[in-house]
Amino acid sequence: MTAADRVRPSYVRGRRRAEDLIRLFSQPPVDLNLVATTLGAEIRTYELKPDISGILYRDGERRVIVVNQDHSIERQRFTIAHELGHLVLHRGQPVHVDEGFRVNLRDRRSATAEDVEEIEANAFAADLLMPAKWLRADVEQHFIDLTDDNAMHALASRYGVSTQAMAYRLAALSFT
Computed from CA positions of residues 136, 140, 144, 147, in that sequence, does the dihedral angle turn out positive or negative? positive
Is the model's pLDDT at 105 over the cut of 80?
no
The residues, any chain, with a CB within 8 Å of residue 157's CB and separated by 6 or more, are none
CA–CA gap between residue 167 and residue 174 (Å, rounded) = 10
Average pLDDT, the chain: 83
pLDDT at position 1: 42
CA-wise closest residue to 129 among 37, 15, 39, 43: 15
Arithmetic mean of pLDDT, 107-121: 70
CA-wise closest residue to 154 among 141, 171, 139, 132: 139
Percent of the chain with pLDDT over 70: 81
pLDDT at position 165: 93
Arithmetic mean of pLDDT, 106-122: 70
Distances 97 to 51, 56, 59, 66, 94 between C-alpha atoms, Å: 22, 16, 13, 19, 9
**What topology does CATH give the domain 3-129?**
Arc Repressor Mutant, subunit A (1.10.10)
pLDDT at position 125: 95
CA–CA gap between residue 50 and residue 130 (Å, rounded) = 25
Burial of 169 (0-12, 13-18, 19+ CB in 10 A): buried
Is the model's pLDDT at 35 over the cut of 50?
yes
Higher pLDDT residue, 6 or 125? 125
Is the model's pLDDT at 98 over the cut of 50?
no
pLDDT at position 176: 59
pTM: 0.82
Is the model's pLDDT at 96 over the cut of 60?
no
Higher pLDDT residue, 163 or 116? 163
Tens of pLDDT, residue by residue over 23-32, are 888 889 999 9
Q: How confident is the model at residue 100 (pLDDT cuts 50, 70, 90)?
A: very low
Is the model's pLDDT at 5 over the cut of 50?
no
How many Cα atoms occupy the beta-carbon half-sphere of 90 within 13 Å? 27
